[in-house]
Structure 1
Amino acid sequence: MEAVVKKQYQIDFGAVLSEVHVFAPATVANMICGFDILGFAVDYPGDEVQMFRVPEPGVRIRSIKGDEGRLPVDPERNTVSACVKMLLAHLGIENEIGVEIDLIKHMPIGSGLGSSSASTVAGLFAINSLLGNPLTKAELLPFCVEGERLACGHGHADNVAPALMGGITLVRGYDPLDVIKLPVPEELYAGIVFPKVDVPTRDARQLIKEKVYLRDAVTQWGNIAGLVAGLYEKDYALISRSMHDVLIEPTRAILIPEFYAMKDIALQEGALSFGISGSGPSVVAISKGKEIAERAATAIQEHLTRSEIESFKYVSSVNIDGPKIINK
């Protein structure tokens, strides 16, 4: 794990909460043209973590709901508990406090919406809140990245950064980790459709070429720079013509049935751009205004139904807050 500056943390055990309930959002990684460096959070779906302080030291998974039995309850192998253990070790209190965790999944695993990211962020935000917030979000981020490394073998931040920080984030560099929050135009919406087909993240990454043509790299750099400029200027036309992917989409689209038909539908409905969310199979119609995002997502879902492919639909603005404590 990237080195986190060690400092003295004062934990008042008398003030530690007895329990906390946290929601962390799903994310759209890559933002079409920004592979591994861009992403944004959405309002829904997301995952929840309920964390309880218990007398016996250690970290345990009490229950997992919504995962169809696919996630490990072993605290060393589950990304939520493993990252909580890392954080407690960093604080030097792993033998002084005990917590039990209920994980509630609200999105499909392997959906391309940052499922593992949302769980990890929820868990780390929960333990930090339980302890009285000894770490800032920036200090929590490297632990979130480790969760991604455990989940898929690659410690990328394009999901966990927006899930933790909220809004749109740019990962300027990984060595050291350097994340910048970008402006969010208020009318930017996402119409997300998750086709129920299996595209494992590890498989999707293996398809990516190790070498690219310089002319394609130059095109992609221009698109990323144009997108960032468009966000700052709130220039939706510039955002639209910048969000094109010439490096990753042509290969990954092969794994997603009806991809180019869905893209045509989204653009015909007025979306600014259309592409793959993360490693897929979820796709996203990025739009100006909720109405267009809703219309595009609905038309795509209707097309998938005619093609006998089951799907889920989500329409959301950009979530600028990230994780939050909820009361139930």
Structure 2
Amino acid sequence: MALRYRFAHQSVGACARMQLAGTGIQTPCIIRTTGIILGTRMYSSKHTAAVAKPVERADPTLPGQSLTFIQKVKGFVSFYKGGLKELLQNNKAAKAIAVKVRNGEELTRSELQIQRRTPGDKLRLVPFGFLVVIIPELIPLTIWLFPGVCPSTCVTFGQTVKMGRKQDVVRQRLHAQAVQRIAEAGIKPGDLAVASKLGKLDHEIFQFETLADQDVQLIARYMGVRGGLFANATALKTKLRLELDYLHHDDQLLANESLVGVLGLTELHRACQERGIPTADYPEQQLRNSLDAWTKVSQAAKGGSDMLPIVWSRLALFNKAIKV
């Protein structure tokens, strides 16, 4: 299915990308002097009956576009309205997904992401829906001031990059602490850079049962896992294990559906950020290579506990990929 979307401006030698909301898939477009022609192809996997049809819309913050101020405003309004529509669809799809989970059926990655993101998006539905209906032109300013009001379906590529840049600053500091901790444990950094050596590492920092509280806090902060105001180390460790179990499952789906090479820019950045891979100011291909390496190493792990060596390698390598 093709979608043609033209902007009344001229652009030579540039290339924009169209991202399909919900799928995270983007395909290159063809740019001519008469305007932008966005050729879009739907990517789907088997067993996607529970997921509603994605809302097709252009993200005005994707690189390679040359838009006037008016075009940007219209683009933002269209993008956020489409995101709200997709959110309503996801709320309905979540019920069907819950039935699949109860029946022990395997989810697609799109379904897994809806299951993961919808509960938080529901809390933002009313305030964000009010903005879309009443004052859509002020949404970019409102989100800049209050980023937490934006549902995941309405997060632009520009917002994703901005959030990733803030996370990278924090992770850079945690990376330095991790390198020191690894040295104290008597582990060679080179052993964490090669996939074949990760499974052979034997130390208390690689087992949840013997993981020290300070190490739990270090890893959780790096991976973006929050324990809450009154969470103790035990509760934080449980949340961290659940997060790593989720990543292991997500890695399997990324590999099984061959998605790493075709994820849209926004979804690519999200996937990398979830795994502690720095994203700000790094080339797209480097991010795909790092994500691909992570998923390949993850396939050899059995679950949350086995993921700890991979996470430590992420802390130690920071902006480099594991050698597989």
Q: If the length of structure 2 is used for normalisation, what is the TM-score?
A: 0.28
Higher strand share: 1
Q: Which has the larger radius of gyration?
A: 2
Higher helix share: 2
Higher relative contact order (CA 8 A, sep 6+): 1
Q: If the length of structure 1 is used for normalisation, what is the TM-score?
A: 0.28
